[in-house]
Structure 1
Amino acid sequence: METFESILDAIAGVIWGPFVLIPLLLGTGIYMTFRLGFVQLRGLGPGLSLGLIRRSDEGSSGDVSQYKALATALAATVGTGNIAGVATAVALGGPGAIFWMWVSGLFGMSLKYSESFLAVRFRTIDKKGGRNGGPQYYLQKGIKGPIGALLGWFFTIAAIVASFGIGNMVQANSMSETAEMNFGVEPWVTGLVVAVVTFFVLIGGVKSISTVAAGIVPVMIVLYIAVQVWILVANFGGLGEAFVTIFSGAFTGTAAAGGFTGALVIAAIQFGLARGLFSNESGMGSAAIAAGAAQTTHPTRQGLVSMTQTFIDTLILVTLTGLVITVTRAYEQVDANGEALTGVNLTSTAFNIGLGTEQSNLGGILVAICLVLFASTTLWGWSYYGERAIERALGTRSILPFRLVWVVMSFIGATIPLSVVWTFSDIANGLMVIPNLIGILILSGLIARETKAYLTFDPKLTATQAEIDEGLAHEPGYQAWRAEEQRLDDEVGTITGTHPSIKQGAKRRG
């Protein structure tokens, strides 16, 4: 087992080292940021307004509203990465890792926009009439020939494997460990509850998942933010020093202090970017799968709405968690065995120090409640990602067996030790990123051209479908997408029996 773990560690070290994903992620993010004219800055306000305030595009095609698609992506993204992932990055890379998580989030917004744009631009439907999108489709449809097919299938297989790691077993295990540590609940009990609840949530597919997510996600995010803001206000005098520690550690490393073992600059970069991706999933292509089901009048509109998910996840939630850990200097604490804290234990300690509840463990209990909520919604959201990937590989008949296996694996993940699953998840995540970023680079011209055309016409995202049709009447990219959407609508009508010709025939027969 030790040999196997060392092999996995070596593979993860190569994938997330200075020669593979770090330059690919940063390079592609920076390139798309400039290619799209800093879309993450100029499009953030309109994207937040459409996704969180107006919440839908009236008269558009798709399965769920833009808000529900965003909620599903947030449900899958806001998970253990925001609690345990941030803490692990700080424990291994020092407070400077937080800066590199910010970098991951800032440039990752352009990647999240690009992949979500492509998911809508090249989406299709399944045999039941549901809208499907994501890298498994747009890599093959957007890039003609064997290269597109190879990238698409590579992503599909990697997504299936990764879904059971980052999306299932890691989340279930984190819940069971937290429940046992804070409430004395046996892992098998947690596993059984998680499996039963997951079964009932998954029965209704994406509409059920998105509805549950739309109700839970705002509550859990507001709760988590409120507690952390309280801590930071109570420790306001130390915020300046915390920011200095983060910025200095990002470029000079962090010296050892207390129980903290210190960290080199390369460790801050490596773990900051790796855990940043684990948290916001920008560049992975996973959230694009949820975006592909959204009701939207233009790919750009859904791209901007989806992009806000990275802003909320990394530039708000990760920042707050990182600041709480840094301002309380919890990363310098040790456990009963004299070892440095990491993961959930580190975040719980930071909350207890910040709230002054070391004796009652109120901070740890609050972290436990947030983690259970975060991990539950992540498990449900990622089930949809894995389901779409397995459907692409094996067809719609594979969906029900996949859901049943998913439920069983959530129970197993909650009841067995997972010492290697985090490393395994890093590897699987990386294998999803590589084909997706290659595809984004190849299709960058199309993304930039059609984005510019739309935002020049409607920068505030207020145009109606009719106004868009008229305003972009001479844009070939939009016309091609609009014609395909109308064709898909006709197919959906035929499958579901709602096509006008079918209704008219039924009336005549009546």
Structure 2
Amino acid sequence: MNQIHDALSAIDSFIWGPPLLILLVGTGVFFTFKLGLLQFRHLPTALKLVFGRSSDDKSDGDVSSFAALCTALSATIGTGNIVGVATAIKLGGPGALFWMWMAALFGMATKYAECLLAVKYRQVDEKGQMVGGPMFFLLNGVGSKFLATAFAIFAIGVAFFGIGTFPQVNAIVDAANISFGVPRGLAALIITVLVATVTIGGIKSISRVASKVVPSMAVFYVVACLSVLISQSEHLMAAVSLVITSAFSNSAATGGFAGASIMLAIQSGVARGVFSNESGLGSAPMAAAAAKTNSCVRQGLISMTGTFFDTILICTMTGLALILTGAWKSDFAGAAMTTHAFATGLNSASFGPMLVTIGLMFFAFTTILGWNYYGERCVVFLMGTKAVLPYKIIFIALVASGAFLHLELIWIIADIVNGLMAIPNLIGLLLLRNVVVEETKAYFSASVGVAEPANS
């Protein structure tokens, strides 16, 4: 077992080394300046599109733009926001949160570009459903069947062995067992039945559940986090200062955290940030492609808010709660560390942990639903709609088995397949950069009173 762990750790370190980190952040930086700081200048516009009344109900697509965003958020707002943040700060110190911010701010431009391309190059499958995502813009835009196939295979790997199953199921059964005493086997059975019930209905069923659950659970968790932050408000500025200073200095602390270098803070912050918001992975475009819209730019703007909600808001609150309460220096790890932070911050040994448990279970469950859909779209691309049922059977079987794997091994496997999935997607984005710029210029030129983004 140790040999397997060591081998996977070596692969993980290689994949998530400087080249991929540079490619991930560099792509975001490139699009940020190529599009004239679009994610900063047009974030208010994007938020208005998210919460405003849609005029695209009669447009091509399967679900509303809001439902498509909720489907994407159902996959991104998950254990990364609770367990992933704790793991990043445990490994890289408070400075890891700063690098999560940087990855998210630049990642918003990446998310905008990949979702724009998904809508532009989407098509209709033999069942009349909209399909799109990196595999389609790699095939039809870039003209590379190899990159398209590689992305689809790696994405199925993420759905089966990465974000889609093992980390989420493990988090749910652990939380249910610790907080409510539910046996792991029973918890695994219940979640398997629930996943099977929802996913059999496809995108419309998943988006219907996501549209109801995602906003509710996000508000619930944000309120819980705010309660902790308010209770520790006198130390808030000191915590923010610690995050910033730790990002640029070697830091050390007592307790469970032995010390971290700047590179480790960057690596853990970016890797966990990407795990959480999935900017650059190519997952959200598959949900965006199903949106009822006649504007690829409009959907790109809506989709990029997902990274803002996920990391800039929710991950930040979790991270500050961990730092303010001192939980990051404790001997706890993962969900147990966040639970300890809430118990300390709310001065309640039962109420605080229960909030974390409920939030974690809902977050993880909807992430499973979202990734079931992503994997299904890739299976359709590779083998057609006839392969959907076998895929769902395998996916549900993996959900059932995810409760019995070791946590550390789960995160290593998830990191590996995430990194492999990002590579062909990012290559495609850079090759199609001119398409993104031209579509963006055309959209904002046609919008009265909105300045045209720079393209130089």
Give the TM-score, by structure 2 length: 0.96
| Distance 1:394-1:460 versus aligned 2 partners, 3 A rule | farther
Question: Using the alignment, how far apart are the partners of 1:387 and 1:47 within structure 2?
Answer: 28
CA contact (8 A) 1:88 1:343 kept: yes
Q: Are residues 1:342 and 2:330 paired?
A: no
Q: Specify the alignment match of 2:16 in structure 1.
A: 16
For 1:404-443, list aligned pairs within 5 A: 404-443=393-432
Question: Using the alignment, how far apart are the partners of 1:459 and 1:155 within structure 2?
Answer: 38
Paired amino acid for 1:405 = I
CA contact (8 A) 1:96 1:253 kept: no
Q: Are residues 1:254 and 2:251 paired?
A: yes
Shift of 1:192: 0.7
CA contact (8 A) 2:170 2:404 kept: yes
Match of 2:378 among 383, 389, 405: 389
Percent identity (aligned): 46
Shift of 1:39: 1.2
Q: Specify the alignment match of 2:152 in structure 1.
A: 156
Q: Any gaps of 5 or more consecutive residues in structure 2?
A: 451-456
* Count of aligned pairs between the two proteins: 449
Shift of 1:152: 0.6
Name the SS of the counterpart of 1:3 in structure 2.
helix
Q: Specify the alignment match of 2:453 in structure 1.
A: none
Question: Using the alignment, how far apart are the partners of 2:40 and 2:438 within structure 1?
Answer: 18
For residues 119-143 of structure 1, what are the alpha-carbon distances to aligned partners after superposition, in whole Å with 9 as ceiling and x for unaligned?
0000011110000010111111001
CA contact (8 A) 1:50 1:56 kept: no
Question: Using the alignment, how far apart are the partners of 1:400 and 1:52 within structure 2?
Answer: 35
Question: Using the alignment, how far apart are the partners of 1:85 and 1:54 within structure 2?
Answer: 34
Name the SS of the counterpart of 1:70 in structure 2.
helix
Q: Specify the alignment match of 1:49 in structure 2.
A: 48
Q: Are residues 1:319 and 2:308 paired?
A: no
Higher relative contact order (CA 8 A, sep 6+): 2
Q: Are residues 1:267 and 2:286 paired?
A: no
Shift of 1:332: 1.3
Match of 2:347 among 345, 356, 359: 356
Paired amino acid for 2:309 = I
For 1:74-113, list aligned pairs within 5 A: 74-113=73-112
CA contact (8 A) 1:191 1:415 kept: no
Q: Are residues 1:3 and 2:3 paired?
A: yes
Question: Using the alignment, how far apart are the partners of 1:174 and 1:32 within structure 2?
Answer: 35
For residues 328-387 of structure 1, what are the alpha-carbon distances to aligned partners after superposition, in whole Å with 9 as ceiling and x for unaligned?
1111122xxxxxx22101111111111011xx3321111111000000000001000000
CA contact (8 A) 2:91 2:257 kept: no
Shift of 1:414: 2.0
Name the SS of the counterpart of 2:85 in structure 1.
helix
| Distance 1:78-1:460 versus aligned 2 partners, 3 A rule | farther
Name the SS of the counterpart of 1:162 in structure 2.
helix
Paired amino acid for 1:154 = A
Give the TM-score, by structure 1 length: 0.86
Paired amino acid for 1:130 = Q
Q: Specify the alignment match of 1:301 in structure 2.
A: 298
Paired amino acid for 2:65 = Q
Shift of 1:17: 1.5
CA contact (8 A) 1:159 1:432 kept: yes
Question: Using the alignment, how far apart are the partners of 2:377 and 2:57 within structure 1?
Answer: 26
127-136 or 56-65, which deviates more: 56-65
Q: Any gaps of 5 or more consecutive residues in structure 1?
A: 335-340, 462-510
